[in-house]
Amino acid sequence: MFRFLTAGESHGKGLSVIIEGIPAGLSLSEDYIAEDLRRRQGGYGRSRRQKIEQDRAEIVSGVRHGLTLGSPIALYLRNRDWENWREAMAVEPVDAPVEKVTNLRPGHADLSGVVKYAQDDVRPVLERASARETAARVAVGAVCRRFLEEFGVHIHSHTVAIGGEEAPVEGEPDWEAVETSPVRCADPQAGERMVAAIDAARNGGDSLGGVVEVRATGVPIGLGSHVHWDRKIDGRLAQALMSIHAVKGVEIGGGFGLARLPGSQAQDVILPADQWGGRLWPRASNRAGGSEGGMTNGEPVVARAALKPISTLPKALPSVDLRTGEQVQAHYERADVCVVPAAGVIAEAMVAIVLTEAALEKFGGDHVDETLRNYRAYLETIGPRGGQE
């Protein structure tokens, strides 16, 4: 069984992760994981914190001489900002009282969190609710990406909208252009408009949301299952993407757009193999985003996530004080203006996690060679049935 758990507060000592279920024999290094952590920290519109942090995941266990052992993989990401928060986030009781945060921020876990966990200070809630936790998920996603590479699965993402600025999407995006764009947009003109929109939002004390798209290629047919609601791959992808901070909408393939089409234009016609370079079960289109009946169908998995604008605004919204119930300005803590570019990298991680879990369900294996043997044996069986009844 594949699973993982993260721990850590935004301004605590660091983030910890335990990953279970990755087979033995997979090559893995801290440098490999660092690359995705670096990508998460980039992007126009982030706060100064990203420059302080320069995340790196230390592999604490589960890897020896560059290969996974099949035992739990523990990772630790030190919070470099911790030095500035030693008192406020001390594990031991402190002598001098630390100022409480009592101005509730709309759009955050603040209000529900203090009520539910019986707190008189928002700090214990906001520290864990913060999207800092996504650094740990990206580290897990990098381990999963490494695993999926063994199957020829590759996962990319790009920004398709920031605020009201949209990028045209036709065919496969230019992934190199995405990685060099400050907003991770494949279209340079749209990227420039997005940068200008972020500048305008920052100057106006405001923030912006947007939409990212993730594409996973090389995904084998048959991950997930139609037989139970909680095994359906589209449902699992939606949950995983929706769990990213500030994500308020998820689409698989054509998504909401399919609702406006007649049925004749909303499906993906199955073509004879010889019409598509000998590929098995090719399709004329990919409106389903690689998922039918809760299973991958061999086409690229395509999912989109829509992020609301960042809730914490320099020009703070009116709110209420936790102690008095009276009106105040919402608490302002150094905040990003736009996190859409980073969200693409986080969304890649979540898709990698879901596909890894589903691939291990299907192919199993305690050593990665065993997993790959099972995978190759399966591929031998998936062609046309040769006239069987």
Ligand X SMILES: Cc1cc2nc3c(=O)[nH]c(=O)nc-3n(C[C@H](O)[C@H](O)[C@H](O)COP(=O)(O)O)c2cc1C
Closest approach of ligand X to the CB of residue 340, in Å: 9
Q: In the complex, what is the shortest distance from the CB of residue 375 to ligand X, in angstroms, rounded to a whole number?
A: 33
d(CA 237, CA 251): 10
> DSSP string covering 121-171, please?
-SHHHHHHHSTTHHHHHHHHHHHHHHHHHTTT-EEEEEEEEETTEE----S
Question: Shortest Cβ distance from residue 377 to ligand X (Å)?
Answer: 40
Residue selected from 336, 341, 362, 368 as contacting ligand X according to rule CB under 6 A: 336
What gap in Å lies between CA 109 and CA 41, rounded to an integer? 23
x/- binding map, residues 242-281, to ligand X, per CB under 6 A? --xxx-----------------------------------
Binding segment for ligand X among 89-97, 195-203, 278-286, 331-339 (CB under 6 A)? 331-339
CB 358 within 8 A of CB 237: no
Give me the amino acid identity at 3. R
> Is 161 near ligand X (CB under 6 A)?
no
288 vs 351, beta carbon nearer ligand X: 351
Cβ-based nearer residue to ligand X, 88 or 109: 109
Residue 101, phi then psi, degrees to nearest 5: -95, 120
Residue 78 has phi, psi (to 5 degrees) of -75, 140
Q: Kindly state whether residue 358 participates in binding ligand X, applying the rule CB under 6 A.
A: no
CA distance 67 to 78: 23
Residue closer to ligand X, measured from CB, 347 or 354: 347
Identify the H or E element spanning 202. helix 188-203
Query: In the complex, what is the shortest distance from the CB of residue 130 to ligand X, in angstroms, rounded to a whole number?
Result: 6
Least separation in angstroms between residue 314's CB and ligand X is 11
CB of 244 to ligand X, least distance (A): 5
Nearer Cβ to ligand X (107/255): 107
Which residue intervals of 254-367 are DSSP H helices?
340-363
Min CB(64)–ligand X separation in Å: 33
The β-bridge partners of 16 are 7, 76
Which residue lies nearer to ligand X by CB, 67 or 111? 111
Q: Name the residue number minimizing CB distance to ligand X.
A: 312
Contact assessment for residue 77 and residue 58, using Cβ atoms and an 8 Å cutoff? yes
342 contacts ligand X (rule: CB under 6 A):
yes
Kindly state the smallest distance separating residue 134's Cβ from ligand X, in Å.
Answer: 5
Q: Print the binding letters for residues 130-159 with ligand X: x by CB under 6 A, - otherwise.
A: xx--x-------------------------
Query: Between 71 and 243, whose beta carbon lies closer to ligand X?
Result: 243
Helices (H), 204-339: 233-242
Query: CB under 8 Å, gap of 24 or more: what pairs does 184-187 form?
Result: 184/42, 184/43, 184/157, 184/158, 184/159, 184/212, 184/340, 184/341, 184/344, 184/345, 185/158, 185/159, 185/160, 186/158
Taking the CA atoms of 32, 36, 38 and 39 in sequence, report the sign of the dihedral they define: positive
Q: Does 311 bind ligand X (CB under 6 A)?
A: yes
Q: Which residue from 310, 322, 338, 350 is in contact with ligand X, where contact means CB under 6 A?
A: 310
CB-CB contact of 296 with 231 (8 Å): no
Burial class (CB in 10 A: 0-12, 13-18, 19+), 358: buried
- Judge whether 15 and 8 are in contact, CB under 8 Å: yes
At 96, the amino acid letter reads: A
Does residue 312 interact with ligand X by CB under 6 A? yes
Q: Are 286 and 298 in contact, with CB atoms under 8 Å apart?
A: no
Q: In angstroms, give the least distance from the CB of 137 to ligand X.
A: 10
CB nearer to ligand X: pick between 165 and 336: 336
For position 19 contacting ligand X by CB under 6 A, the verdict is: no
The count of chain residues that interact with ligand X, using the rule CB under 6 A, is: 21
Piece of 86-94, 138-146, 162-170, 333-341 that binds ligand X (CB under 6 A): 333-341
What minimum distance in Å lies between the beta carbon of 339 and ligand X? 4
Q: Which is nearer to ligand X, 108 or 362 (CB)?
A: 108
Task: Give the interface with ligand X as residue ranges (CB under 6 A).
Answer: 47, 107-109, 129-131, 134, 244-246, 308, 310-312, 335-336, 339, 342-343, 346
